Amino acid sequence: MEEDILNSELNPELITSKVLQKKEAEKDVETDKIKEEAEEEFRHINNPTANLKPIVKKYLGAPAEIERSKNRFYISDGDARVEILVVSEEIIRVRLAPHGVFLEEFSYAVPNLPQYKGEAILTESEQEYRITTPKVNCHISKKDFFISFSDQDNHITNMDAEPMHWEENVQFGGYYVFGTKVCQPEEAFYGLGDKATDLNLRGKRLKNWNTDAYSYAWGQDPLYRSIPFYISLDKGIAHGIFFDNTFRNYFDFGGESHNKTSFWSDGGELQYYYIHGPHMMDVVKRYALLTGTHAMPPMWALGYHQCRFSYYPESKVKMITAKFRENQIPCDCIHLDIDYMDGYRCFTWNKKYFPDPKRMIGEIAEKGFKTLVIVDPGIRVDDNYWVFKEGKSKHYFCRRSDDYYMEGHVWPGRCQFPDFTNPEVRTWWGSLFTELMEQGVTGVWNDMNEPAVFGSGTFPDDVRHQFDGFRGSHRKAHNVYGMQMVRATYEGMRKLMKNKRPFTITRAGYSGVQRYACVWTGDNIASWEHLRLGNLQCQRLSMSGISFCGTDIGGFSGNADSELFTRWIQMGTFSPFMRAHSAGDTKEREPWSYGEPYTTIIRNFIELRYRLLPYFYSVFWEHHRYGFPILRSVIMQEQEVVMNQGRQDEFTYGDKILVCPVMEPGQMSRRVYLPTGNWFNFWTNELVEGGKEVEVLTPLENIPIFVKAGSVIPEYAVMQYVGEKEIEEVKLNIYYTNGEVKSYMFEDYGETFAYEQDIYLEKKFIADGSKAGSFIIQQTSEGLYTPRYDNYHFNIAGLPYKPSKIVINGKELVHFTINREGVVDFRFTKNFKQIEVLK
């Protein structure tokens, strides 16, 4: 190049050309350098991990805007959105969409969301957005997106401790979702279904994931049902939170952090309902508005049930039923566990044990027994088994993510499982009961439907479900599987039984399962600890919306001695569902198994249940129509009394009869708390002032039972089964009060759905002793049903004076008697309007 330049003097054009070439070369080098740097930067930007941010919890930021569509309010922080829906004056729903897109609205728990007819008021200040109804305020803080609720007096009842937050679920998609509330220093928590722990859940951390928990222990969690609903009580004011999320979910009631209450799930939406009180009873009733109540059962279902794993062959069944009648011990229903089946195949009979089921069922029906059979979801893989062939040909069984059928071993061996979240499958399943119904079966027990699988526990997470068109894996469907199974059973039976009421039992369930079945507390143990635990579980289930509940009386596994079984029968007399049940490897456990004096004591208590059936049935109507829980813990009677937060032995059946089971061996007396007011000892008619603990004798022959002053308790004559005799009269046991007390009695046909067309009779009694020297009982009624009996038999207890005359509907009664205990006895027509018992 230098030589070329030197020679350029002789050739100027060459000089120019060479210089240009040099400049072009330098330019190309620079361009290549820039290109290389750009490519390096390009490669860096597209590195799949270089700029990947770690997955962390993300929290709502400050709200940026609010939109309104009628009673739906949408608030955004620029990315995430929150929906506030006013459901009623006392119920507000909150939903979170982490990136602004909500899932399609669907809920098995809340099939028909109430529509608020009023109009909520939206106001805005520098500090907050406020959504107001006549009963509740919802506050959304502009600073941090904290959501809180207050009552009409602006008293904060519930508030966020942290903004709602979420975390990406890399493995499955979607999000873990979290809600965290402030936990007040004296706040107490109740509900959450059948948790095996103290009534007050303060300090507990609990999980909802339906689990086959054979012989579970105190504190073991989770169990058979997932009910993500709790009641908070603080400073005498109650509210509820219903976290409607079917995924595996969790609750922490001040356990990890004493000042925080949290609920979260492994997937799905953060969707919860705030349910205002201020009374615990209000919260339970409003939860029932969302999730429903039990249908009225056939009255026989409130009688005594006898079960064992298992009663077979036919001769054993007939021997057991005959012994009930020989011993004059009332019983309405005999349960057949899985050994009635052919190789544990559902919808079949073992013809060796039961050669003619229809004949057998008819013969024991003549003695007043209903027959109930068990079914499981597992359908044996067997091409010669008609149920499997049908389900397989119609593609009704669950499949895994790679399209293989979900298979697992349960009682029949290798099984496949119907997808009960598919409405077509539910209809098919319901139709399978046709032959059983034709043979005379009147009740069905749905078991193993958590769903349980031997060895693995349950289905793998990748099993797919139709979910009524909303699709999902087993992570989403697990907790509703059992509920949808018993729904299929109930709906199928209702169609097949025409106007007769089905009776169904389920082991597993989710919120709303009460619309289809009653429940029991699962495979418990014959121990005093489980007697106490059963008492707590039934109280908790009742306040969690599932009032029709009971225990395996005597314990399923292990052997109960005579005292334990007797005490359990006594408690079970006041369980909405009363069934004795035991495993096949235990000693036989029928009411006569322990000999005297136990047989007589047990007979007396079962007879007491049958005497009180009209009261129990009326309380069930109050639950069905008005949403009241059947069993009511003392804290629900007097929530303003802080000491009652720890009381968990006593409960009332309805609001008139208080029961305190004896739950310690050899206990001949015990302390019993009576809520404020006057109470009568059921056994002696002794008047006892409430608002304090009293010492009560507890010989083996009885347990503490008290009746609220002013109550009208209807009573039937003892029968060996419901419908054995025509009701000729109803006894009304009336207890004096110096105030005014209302009581109710419900009557109808007892087995049909005519009550849905107002063919029933709801009677209201008002007892009023506020005027000295006078006790007045008034009766009004509504409905179209006419009972066939003509008269009431009146027993009036506790009068503070000896009556000189009784005036009924303005006319003096000619004849009445007073016994040595001062009980006034007389009869009069059922259609009376007013009775005056005068000094």
Which residues, 6 or more positions from 673, have their beta carbon under 8 angstroms from its beta carbon?
634, 644, 647, 650, 692, 693
| Residue pair 205/256 in contact by the 8 Å Cβ criterion | yes
| Residue pair 174/268 in contact by the 8 Å Cβ criterion | yes
Nearest CA-CA partner of 554 in 521, 531, 529, 522: 531
Q: Is 447 a catalytic residue?
A: yes
3-state class (DSSP) for residue 664:
coil
Say which of 194, 523, 748, 768 is annotated catalytic: 523
Which two three-digit tokens encode residue 257? 């952090």
- Backbone phi and psi for residue 573, each to the nearest 5 degrees, phi listed first: -55, -30
Q: Is 356 a catalytic residue?
A: no
CA distance 67 to 641: 43
Nearest CA-CA partner of 769 in 734, 730, 745: 734
CA distance 656 to 660: 13
Which two three-digit tokens encode residue 779? 């009766």
DSSP letter assigned to residue 404: P
Q: Give one word for 358, left, alpha or beta, with left for phi > 0 and alpha for psi -120 to 50.
A: alpha
Which two three-digit tokens encode residue 577? 């569902």
Say which of 419, 450, 552, 655 is annotated catalytic: 450
Q: Is 523 a catalytic residue?
A: yes
Q: Tell me the residue type at 179.
A: G
Find how far residue 736's CA is from the centre of its chain.
36
Which residues, 6 or more positions from 245, have their beta carbon under 8 angstroms from its beta carbon?
177, 228, 265, 268, 269, 270, 271
Say which of 221, 252, 337, 447 is annotated catalytic: 447
3-state class (DSSP) for residue 81:
strand
Per-residue burial over 35-73, b = 16 or more CB atoms within 10 Å of its CB, e = otherwise: eeeeeeeeeeeeeeeeeeeeeeebebeebeebeeeebeb
Which two three-digit tokens encode residue 42? 């390009």
Strands 304-306 and 578-580, how do they pair? parallel
Which two three-digit tokens encode residue 61? 């930021």
| Residue pair 229/238 in contact by the 8 Å Cβ criterion | no
CA distance 1 to 385: 97
User: Which sequence positions are flagged as catalytic?
Assistant: 447, 450, 523
